[in-house]
Amino acid sequence: MTTYLDAIGEYHRRRAASDERRWTERLDQAWYVGPSFAQALSAGDHLAVIAEVKRRSPSKGWLQRDLDAVAMGRLYESAGAAAISVLTDQPHFGGDLEDLAAVRDAVQIPRLRKDFTVCENDVLDALEWGASAILLIVALLDDNELSRLHALARTVNLDVLVEVHDETEARRALSAGALVVGVNQRDLHSFAVDAARAERVSSVLPPEVVRVAESGLRSVDELTRAVEAGFDAVLVGEAFVIDADPAAKVREFAGVPRR
């Protein structure tokens, strides 16, 4: 059974195959200098919130078609977010690399490029357009791709959020050198959110790994449960974007104490 991730991954692989740029020629001056995404997620006495700039989703359609990335980024920062995730996939999420660059220029906290990274040029584009970190989705990559892209990102001083859905993927992430692991609570087939599965996945991660809970988080009770399961941070998009008072929601979530 195919999933939305399969279709999106196919699109991005076709895009990458048509990209004629030689990534090795782009490395001469490639090096990230700025706030550390990984450190921002592990600092402080409260759960770190990665707040997402998200206009739409493949399953729910438009959440906020006219969302202003800069205004939302500044709101997130002022409300206490530790980092900002910017979706740059246009066909499926309504994002753009220009959103990432604009947010970079508007805030001081780290930025995650949230996209479907499948090749070296994707990593270097993230660096060029203002990311502090990239996303690698284990379900989308084979072991060689995962290790290679992770190594390149670290070479240019970008942090890497490695997303997994189960224990097997978590072990693959660790084998690739992952230091920040995001556990997506949403099942790729049913779209159901399963916090218990996320807790099981968290339990196989070593203590030095920064843990991020992803998808379907809407309440302080759910965040408290994530903290109790060992998570250091949460990535939240839809719950902020659709809220009537997103700043208040971010402040509420950012006020959840760590263990």
Would you name the residues annotated as active-site residues? 52, 54, 114, 163, 184, 214-215
Q: How far apart are CA 180 and CA 38, in angstroms?
A: 7
* Amino acid letter for position 33: V
Q: How far apart are CA 170 and CA 165, in angstroms?
A: 8
What burial class does residue 195 get, using C-beta atoms within 10 Å of its C-beta: 0-12 exposed, 13-18 middle, 19+ buried?
middle
Secondary structure string (H, E, C) spanning 246-259: HHHHHHHHHCCECC
Backbone Cα Rg of the chain: 17
The partner residues of 137 in beta bridges, in order of sequence, read 163
User: How far from 112 is each of 34, 44, 87, CA to CA, in Å?
Assistant: 12, 19, 8
Burial 92-121 (b: 16+ CB within 10 A, else e): bbbbbbebbbbbbeebebbbbbbbbbbbbb
The runs of H, that is alpha helices, within 87-162 are 90-93, 97-106, 120-129, 143-155
| Three-state DSSP class for residue 34 | coil
Give which of 182, 187, 188, 237 is closest to 213, Cα–Cα: 182
